[in-house]
Amino acid sequence: MLYCSQCGTQNREGSKFCNNCGARLKPASGAICPMCGTANQVETVFCTNCGARLVPLTAEPDSEKPASAHPIKGLSLPTKIPPSPAHAEQETPSPASAVPEEPAHDETQTLRDAPPPSESREESGSGQDVTTEGETEIPDWLRNLRSSMPVEETSRPSPVSETGPVQAGGEGEDQVPDWLARLRAEPPAEEEPAARQVSEDAPDWIKQLQAQEQVPVPPRHEEDVPDWLRQLHAEASSEMTLGGEEQASGAPSGPAAETGLEQDTEEPESREPFPREIKSDAEITIPSWIEHAAGIDTEEPAPAEGSELPVWLDQSSLESPVQPSPVQDEPPVPAPIDQLGEEVEPPKTEDQAALPSWLLPSTPEETPPETPTWIEQVPALPAAEEPAPVPATDGEIPDWIKELQAREPAEAPAETIPEIQGAETESLIQSLEQDAGAEIPLVPAEAAGLEKPLEEEIPDWLRLAMPAERAAEISAEAEAPEEKIEAARPEEVPAWIAALRPKDEVALTPAELAGEPSEEVGPLAGLRGVLPLAVAVAEPHVQTKAAAQPQAPAGVHLFDSILAAPAGEAELPAAKGRRALAIRPFIYLLLTLAVIVPLLLPFSLARSMLPIRRTPAEGFYELLQGLPSSSTVLVAFDYDASMAGEMDLQANAIVRDLIRRRIKIIAVSTLELGPQIAQRILDTAAAGVPNYRYGSDFVNAGYLAGHEAGLSQLATSGLSANSVDFVQKQKLGSLPITANIKSMRNVALVVELAGSEDSLKMWMEQVQPRGGAHIAAGVSAGVEPKAQAYYDAKQIDAVLSGLVGAAQYEILSNQPGLAVTSVDAQSAAHVVLVLIIVLGNIAYWVSRARGSETARASRGKAT
């Protein structure tokens, strides 16, 4: 069962969130996968969810190896080695091993005899100082370290002691931790308050841990005890002196713990930080496990009770990272410590057989290549932090410690040595460096790639204690963390994460650029890394063959059948067909009458009512009137026979006026039949003016081939001297009127008679800007919008539009002719068109209204 850390609600095993408050549940035991967060069994090597390795591969223990083989490069990991044949049976997590073979009382009885870790504190008197005087909170191991006292081999820690700061009652074997008593006696339902109560009895640093994490771990139930611990207890029970169960029952219970809590919580204000309490070397004692690791034969400062206990248990009590209770004879064991003990440093030598495999020393051969990177970074720290189980306030805890605490509740704060200074500290570090490689199962940091990451996380206090050269080296590395990380951990980034790294900001190296396709054509040819154009743009003339659709043959056959079928009348609805047949002749008849009647019966309405003043035609007329006599005008007849009905009227009016004023005319055309049209107009107009001769006063230069090229040549070079005129077939260079036309600047005006937009555009693009000629455009009514645009842009000097413009010009030049008469017919036709449009709309709205009424009627009948 899982207990919520927030509300204490009991939840089903395997639940991730609390049923009551929704808080995320943390399993009471087990290994949390750093990759996916899945809770696994303690002995699990690989995560059951994602397969990530939970336990690092470490070096084999080498008891024969001399000391100082591996100086400490930082912090070491709890290691795991492949189980030896002797250990295989105990280490293999089998279903049988998962079930405790011995009764619970045997386990508790075994542990009941364990001396509390406070015994050593009692000996040193530090416990009293903490609780009563508030003088110091220095644990025994620090005091031992400070005094540099030799430590006996028997002072090595034990995993049982690491399961928690077993607070004995002060009488050694008679003291049984109450958590063990609860394991045996109390039901799960009663564990929650007990756990909270015990946690309040914990020393300050444990309280701080609890306060920071806000995760009071529920008490352990028998089912929650890991297999390795049960096996360990079973073996230990055979070695230890059995204690009476009555002592367990006599252990202080909740009220006693509360009393201890009161005493403990009343004092913190009066306490001073730990570093201030370190006054002299005598106050610091080296932990037994460190001394043992250093291979120094020291005298055990532990009490005599320790000698009565099994060696491993005695060691475990000394090695315990927490020196919890300052109150003598107060047995409560904090529940969190109980849980902490599962994950702290195991023993090292003779009790290895009783330990789980992952707690055993490592073999150097296996360590480097197979150690996962996440283990190199994270779990390597706790082992070295264990020697600093000194209380500390929140303000004193470095961030990296808080992170570690958040990840590993059992880890003791390591900031308790920040102000250890002087030779004592150096001796401590030196002893650590000398001894760790000898017996402490450290992971070879260099081989595992741990050196740089671990050194980066070395706290300041440890850095100060290090030799100056080494500290400076580490500081220099810390100043450029990113480069170091990139340089030191290329292999730590998993491939799938590396693949997610954004690459757009990465500049291509020359080698990479060499692999890029190069531009082969265009001005960018030869450049590499050029963004490719779309296929349709880069290869516009490469026709992609469309994939044949399955239904394509059927469509082709249908289309062929439609084309081959004889033409017939469309099967329209009868009513619509009759209506169409009725209205179409009516329209045709009205339009015919509107055109014919004014031509046959001139009304002369246009002559009297057509607006003349302030019209474009007036401007056109004024422009031509401003031309001096005997000046040369180039008239371009750029309309074909289909537009002759409209444009001939303009041409006649303009040419007649020009010839009447004896202005010389050069006729050209960009259309093949234009010269014929021009010749007809010129002959008609010149016939009425005496002494106005072809060749001297006017000339038909004929067809200008080449379209834009011909006009461009005309604009820059004038008429080609080798070309011949349309009538006499004489070279233009020999004619007096055209001999001196070298460019359009030699003509007074260009009159462009354009029946289409293309002709006007060519003149405006090729002649007007380059030749600098003045252009007056006489255009059909359909081209008027485009001519108006050029006129607004001042590219055209004047515009004469359509039949109305011709009529206006005739009126202005006082030579009314067919144009004026045609305007009457055109006006009548426009009136008819307007009437037809209006009738069409009336019919549309009437039919729409009838349709609505019919629809409403049909709906009414239907309803």
Partner 1 sequence: MKWVSTAVAIAVGLIALLDFFFIHPILNGVGAAFKEWTIILTAFALLLGLYNLLNVHVLRIIRRSEPGAGYSAVVVLTFAVVTVIGLWFGLPSGPMNWIFDNLYVPLQGAFFALAAFFLATAAYRALRARNIETTWMLLAALVVLIGQIPLLGELADARAWVLAVPSAAGVRGILLGVALGTIATGLRVIVGMDRPHSE
Helix 644-660 and helix 818-862, axial crossing angle in degrees, nearest 10 = 150
User: Which residue(s) pair with 636 in the sheet?
Assistant: 668, 752
Query: Is residue 467 near partner 1 by the rule CB under 8 A?
Result: no
- Give the contacts of 238 (CB within 8 A, at least 6 positions apart): none
Residue type, 797: D
Distance CA 410, CA 392 (A): 15
Query: Is residue 792 near partner 1 by the rule CB under 8 A?
Result: yes
Q: What track of x and - describes contact with partner 1 for positions 743 through 772 (by CB under 8 A)?
A: ------------------x--------x--
Distance CA 666, CA 459 (A): 102
Residue 429 burial (CB count, 10 A)? 19
- Region from 94-102, 249-257, 294-302, 783-791 binding partner 1, contact rule CB under 8 A: 783-791
Query: Is residue 88 near partner 1 by the rule CB under 8 A?
Result: no
Which of 259, 716, 743, 746 touches partner 1 (CB under 8 A)?
716
Q: Which is nearer to partner 1, 81 or 760 (CB)?
A: 760
**How would you classify residue 313: left for phi > 0, otherwise alpha for psi between -120 and 50, otherwise beta?**
alpha
Q: Which is nearer to partner 1, 299 or 792 (CB)?
A: 792
Which of 717, 730, 743, 815 touches partner 1 (CB under 8 A)?
717
Nearest Cα neighbor of 802 from 615, 544, 591, 563 is 615
Which of 726, 759, 771, 777 touches partner 1 (CB under 8 A)?
726
Query: Is residue 517 near partner 1 by the rule CB under 8 A?
Result: no
Distance CA 79, CA 357 (A): 8
Site for partner 1 in 1-30 (CB under 8 A): none
Cβ 797 to partner 1, closest distance in Å?
Answer: 17
Cβ 501 to partner 1, closest distance in Å?
Answer: 37
Cβ 673 to partner 1, closest distance in Å?
Answer: 8
Query: Is residue 826 near partner 1 by the rule CB under 8 A?
Result: yes
Cβ 495 to partner 1, closest distance in Å?
Answer: 42
Distance CA 395, CA 399 (A): 10
Cβ 482 to partner 1, closest distance in Å?
Answer: 45
Q: What track of x and - describes contact with partner 1 for positions 662 through 701 (by CB under 8 A)?
A: ----------xx--xx-xx---------------------
Which of 740, 841, 854, 858 touches partner 1 (CB under 8 A)?
841
- How far, rounded to the nearest angstrom, does the alpha carbon of residue 455 sit from its chain's CA centroid? 33
Segment 815-818 long-range contacts (CB within 8 Å, at least 24 positions apart): 815/653, 815/656, 815/657, 815/660, 816/607, 817/649, 817/652, 817/653, 818/649, 818/652
Distance CA 305, CA 315 (A): 12
Cβ 810 to partner 1, closest distance in Å?
Answer: 13
Query: Is residue 731 near partner 1 by the rule CB under 8 A?
Result: no
Which of 775, 800, 823, 825 touches partner 1 (CB under 8 A)?
823
Q: Which is nearer to partner 1, 344 or 773 (CB)?
A: 773
Distance CA 118, CA 170 (A): 8
Query: Is residue 705 near partner 1 by the rule CB under 8 A?
Result: yes
Which of 129, 640, 657, 797 touches partner 1 (CB under 8 A)?
640
Number of residues that bind partner 1 (CB under 8 A): 67
Cβ 497 to partner 1, closest distance in Å?
Answer: 43
Task: Give the tokens for residue 681.
Answer: 């107009």
Handedness of CA 677, 678, 681, 682 (dihedral sign): negative
Tell me which residue has tokens 């021009």. 678
Cβ 589 to partner 1, closest distance in Å?
Answer: 10
Which of 20, 63, 249, 642 touches partner 1 (CB under 8 A)?
642
Residue type, 310: P
Task: Give the tokens for residue 128.
Answer: 């009293």
Q: Which is nearer to partner 1, 141 or 620 (CB)?
A: 620
Task: Give the tokens for residue 494.
Answer: 């998993």
Query: Is residue 597 near partner 1 by the rule CB under 8 A?
Result: no
Distance CA 319, CA 582 (A): 116
Which of 29, 427, 746, 788 touches partner 1 (CB under 8 A)?
788
Which of 464, 474, 591, 721 touches partner 1 (CB under 8 A)?
591
Distance CA 97, CA 90 (A): 8
- Give the contacts of 844 (CB within 8 A, at least 6 positions apart): none
Which of 784, 812, 813, 822 touches partner 1 (CB under 8 A)?
784
Q: Which is nearer to partner 1, 265 or 847 (CB)?
A: 847
- How far, rounded to the nearest angstrom, does the alpha carbon of residue 730 sit from its chain's CA centroid? 79
DSSP per-residue string spanning 26-91:
--SSSEE-TTT--EE-TT-SB-TTT--B-S-B-PPP-TTSPTTSS---S-----B-PPPHHHHHHH
Nearest Cα neighbor of 431 from 155, 149, 157 is 149
Positions in the binding site for partner 1 (CB under 8 A): 521-523, 538, 540-541, 583-584, 587-588, 591, 595, 605-606, 609-611, 640-645, 672-673, 676-677, 679-680, 705-707, 709-710, 712-713, 716-717, 726-727, 761, 770, 781, 784-786, 788-789, 792-793, 804, 823, 826-827, 829-834, 836-837, 839-841, 844-845
